[in-house]
């Protein structure tokens, strides 16, 4: 079913899968699958003149298709707001109203900045694919439940979420919704 859906989308793809370690399934979900994707990226590097972006899509989110076009302009790493997260209408970056290319703050109900250096959902960022070859040990783990975003981004050389490039009209619009949360 998945292969059929992907083939009907009209984009090139590689469909990967990985089983979660049984004892770790309850704590941190998705690490084995994301690490399988990272491994594939490292084993299939892009030609020098091509650019690739990595985005970790989750099955519990809904995406405006325009976000995929928007993230293609990512130089190193980018971020944008996500709707309906953690009991809030939205969560994510806030930019200077006079300079939409500068992140000045973050809105997050759960462990806001500075307690969490990357205070946003997995659906709120994308990174340049080359970072996974520049940082060959970067990977997700099974220990940091609800902190996987910051864990992977810090391994890719980002010191905090302020290092990321704001997207979606300077973080002024929501284009990704965390579909399973309720207000």
In a domain, 9, yes or no: no
In a domain, 4, yes or no: no
Would you mind telling me the total number of residues written for the chain in this entry? 183
In a domain, 102, yes or no: yes
What whole-number distance in Å separates Cα of residue 140 and Cα of residue 142?
A: 7
Residue 142 lies in domain: 20-178
In a domain, 15, yes or no: no
Please, where are the H alpha helices in the chain? Answer: 2-9, 31-43, 66-71, 131-134, 148-155, 168-171
- Show which residues are catalytic: 149
Q: How many domains does the chain have?
A: 1
Highest mean pLDDT among 5-9, 12-16, 109-113, 118-122: 118-122
pLDDT digits (tens, 9 = 90+) for 126-144: 999 999 999 999 999 988 8
Encode 42-77: b = buried (16+ Cβ within 10 Å), e = exposed.
Answer: eeeeeeeeeeebbbbebeebeeeeebeebbeebeeb
Does the annotation place 59 within a ligand binding site? Answer: no
In a domain, 97, yes or no: yes
In a domain, 145, yes or no: yes
pLDDT digits (tens, 9 = 90+) for 21-40: 877 556 678 999 999 999 99
In a domain, 11, yes or no: no
pLDDT digits (tens, 9 = 90+) for 48-73: 899 999 999 888 889 998 999 999 99
In a domain, 5, yes or no: no
Cβ–Cβ under 8 Å, residues 123 and 82: yes
Query: 126: domain CATH number?
Result: 3.90.550.10
């Amino acid at each position: 079913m998945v292969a059929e859906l992907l083939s009907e989308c009209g984009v090139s793809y590689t469909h990967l899968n990985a089983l979660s370690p049984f004892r770790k399934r309850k704590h941190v979900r998705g690490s084995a699958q994301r690490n399988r994707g990272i491994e594939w990226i490292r084993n299939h590097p892009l030609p020098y003149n091509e650019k690739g972006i990595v985005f970790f899509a989750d099955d519990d989110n809904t995406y405006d298709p325009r976000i995929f076009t928007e993230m293609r302009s990512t130089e190193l790493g980018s971020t944008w707001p996500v709707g309906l997260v953690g009991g809030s209408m939205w969560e994510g970056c806030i930019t200077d109203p006079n300079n939409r290319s500068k992140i000045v703050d973050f809105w997050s109900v759960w462990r806001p900045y500075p307690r969490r250096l990357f205070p946003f959902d997995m659906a709120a960022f994308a990174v340049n694919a080359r970072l996974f070859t520049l940082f060959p040990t970067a990977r997700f783990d099974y220990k940091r439940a609800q902190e996987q975003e910051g864990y992977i981004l810090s391994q890719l050389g980002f010191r905090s979420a302020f290092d990321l490039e704001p997207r979606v009209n300077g973080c002024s619009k929501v284009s990704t919704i965390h579909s399973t949360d309720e207000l």
